[in-house]
């Protein structure tokens, strides 16, 4: 018998339906997938910290009594909520099908790692944010070559990449092939993720609107620059972040076929560990043993800067240094209903997991309500 005699089937978690949406992202399968996305990715890296940030229960009854918390934790979307301050566990709640030891996809919350990484690079004098991307990545195409690194950090670049999730043919879903989140179509080549982002084009990268131009490849460009200027692999930077946060469980992150982490949205962690990670921003980028993985000055500048604005209903937020901020808190959302928010003023970090179950996993009003709830929580202290 030869290899040609064996029958095979496409992996059911990676196939693409007739509607061009991936199997994992179908509304009826999305919740199960997000509760174990690290088992969907074709290629995965796992990192575990040697020392865990110990948590002490100091439950703040006011959090659970907030009408916003009671409402959002009572929806069918809800998976989990965890609130930490220092080493204090102030509040946590979970859906019946989830729990404190369960992993959840955090999607684009993963992007906030670049705030820590670039804060350190700027502080060490290894990157000039005013320089153009082509200075550091001469092989990159017109989609990013003429943009400044600062504009990439601020989601302030115009190019031909589309991230409109209601469009099943948008660039985000095309990029999933390069990220190992779906199978290529018959005859389609599986590009490496950096080959994909390097091929993005633009006639003019300047953003005249003043509004956020949200594009996940921006994060991939930043990770590539970070490797180039530091001479270190992105994997090593992630290991340092995991160790500095003192995560208790394994941080899983998808990679492309070459092993480069999908830093734009590939991380899966528990709610407690996402909150532990958020505490890094309240500590000015310092780890549990005092190690430096970010920059307090850069985080303060992130809060002060007037980056591009969000449209309504999140009009009070702006994008700055790869985080969303209202000037006091900073954090990020994730596709499908996740959010992490850190408040350096009060020292509180909160992680919220949910899975939106409509067709395209997007609900702007719901997301705005989640952000407002987390802002309210972090300001209680």
Q: How far apart are CA 330 and CA 301, in angstroms?
A: 11
* pLDDT of 1 strictly over 60: no
Give the model's pLDDT for residue 2: 60
Give the model's pLDDT for residue 360: 93
Residue 135 belongs to some domain of the structure: no
Q: What is the pLDDT of residues 71-91, one digit of tens each?
A: 999 999 999 999 999 999 999
Q: What is the pLDDT of residues 2-37, one digit of tens each?
A: 657 899 999 999 999 888 889 999 999 999 999 999
Residue 372 belongs to some domain of the structure: yes
Residue 224 belongs to some domain of the structure: no
Q: What is the pLDDT of residues 45-65, one digit of tens each?
A: 999 999 999 999 999 999 999
Residue of 338, 347, 281, 313 lying closest to 112 (CA atoms): 281
Q: What is the pLDDT of residues 142-175, one digit of tens each?
A: 999 999 999 999 999 999 999 999 898 899 999 9
The SS3 assignment for 342 reads strand
* pLDDT of 267 strictly over 70: yes
Residue of 291, 268, 267 lying closest to 280 (CA atoms): 291
Percent of the chain exceeding pLDDT 90 equals 95
pLDDT range class, residue 320, cuts 50, 70, 90: very high
Alpha helices per DSSP H over 141-233:
149-153, 171-179, 193-198, 217-230
Residue 75 belongs to some domain of the structure: yes
Give the model's pLDDT for residue 3: 59
Residue 118 belongs to some domain of the structure: yes
User: How many structural domains is the chain composed of?
Assistant: 1
Residue 237 belongs to some domain of the structure: yes
98 lies in which domain range? 26-125+232-379
Burial (CB count within 10 angstroms: exposed 0-12, middle 13-18, buried 19+), residue 141: middle
Please give the biggest Cα pair distance in the chain. 69
Q: What is the CA radius of gyration of the chain?
A: 20
Provide mean pLDDT across the span 251-271: 98
Q: What is the pLDDT of residues 193-246, one digit of tens each?
A: 999 999 999 999 999 999 999 999 999 999 999 999 999 999 999 999 999 999
Give the model's pLDDT for residue 120: 98
Percent of the chain exceeding pLDDT 70 equals 99
First to last CA, the chain: 69
Residue 166 belongs to some domain of the structure: no
* Encoded tokens for 275: 């909150």
Give the model's pLDDT for residue 183: 95
Q: Which CATH number characterizes residue 47's domain?
A: 3.40.710.10
Residue 291 belongs to some domain of the structure: yes
* pLDDT of 381 strictly over 80: no
Mean pLDDT of the chain: 96
pTM of the entire predicted model: 0.97
């Amino acid at each position: 018998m030869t290899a040609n005699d064996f029958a095979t089937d496409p992996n059911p978690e990676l196939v693409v339906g007739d509607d061009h949406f991936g199997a994992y992202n179908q509304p009826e399968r999305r919740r199960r997938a997000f509760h174990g996305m690290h088992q969907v990715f074709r290629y995965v890296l796992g990192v575990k910290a040697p020392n865990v940030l110990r948590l002490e229960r100091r439950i703040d009854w006011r959090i659970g009594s907030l009408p916003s918390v009671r409402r959002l934790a009572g929806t069918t979307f809800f998976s989990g909520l965890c609130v930490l301050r220092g080493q204090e566990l102030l509040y946590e709640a979970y859906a019946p099908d989830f729990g404190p030891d369960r992993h959840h996809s955090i999607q684009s919350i993963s992007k906030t790692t670049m705030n820590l990484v670039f804060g350190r690079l700027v502080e060490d004098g290894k990157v000039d944010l005013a320089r153009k991307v082509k200075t550091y990545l001469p092989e990159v195409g017109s989609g990013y070559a003429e943009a400044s690194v600062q504009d990439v950090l601020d989601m302030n670049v115009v190019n031909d990449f589309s991230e409109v999730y209601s469009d099943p043919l948008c660039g985000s879903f095309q990029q999933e092939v390069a990220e190992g989140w779906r199978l290529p179509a018959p005859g389609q080549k599986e590009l490496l993720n950096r080959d994909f982002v390097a091929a993005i084009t633009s006639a003019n990268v300047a953003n005249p609107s003043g509004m956020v131009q949200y594009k996940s490849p921006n994060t991939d460009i930043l990770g590539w620059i970070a490797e180039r200027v530091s001479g270190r692999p992105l994997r090593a930077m992630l290991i340092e972040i995991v160790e500095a946060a003192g995560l208790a469980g394994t941080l899983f992150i998808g990679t492309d076929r070459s092993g480069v982490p999908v830093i734009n949205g590939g991380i899966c962690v528990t709610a407690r560990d996402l909150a532990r990670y958020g505490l890094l921003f309240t500590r000015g980028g310092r780890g549990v043993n005092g190690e430096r993985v970010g920059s307090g000055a850069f985080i303060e500048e992130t809060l002060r800067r007037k980056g591009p604005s969000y449209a309504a209903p999140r009009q009070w937020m702006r994008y700055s240094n790869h985080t969303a901020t209202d000037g006091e808190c900073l954090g990020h959302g994730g596709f499908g209903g996740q959010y992490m928010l850190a408040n350096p003023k009060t020292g509180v970090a909160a992680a919220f997991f949910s899975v939106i179950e409509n067709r395209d996993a997007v609900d702007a009003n719901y997301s705005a309500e989640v952000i407002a709830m987390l802002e309210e929580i972090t300001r209680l202290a």
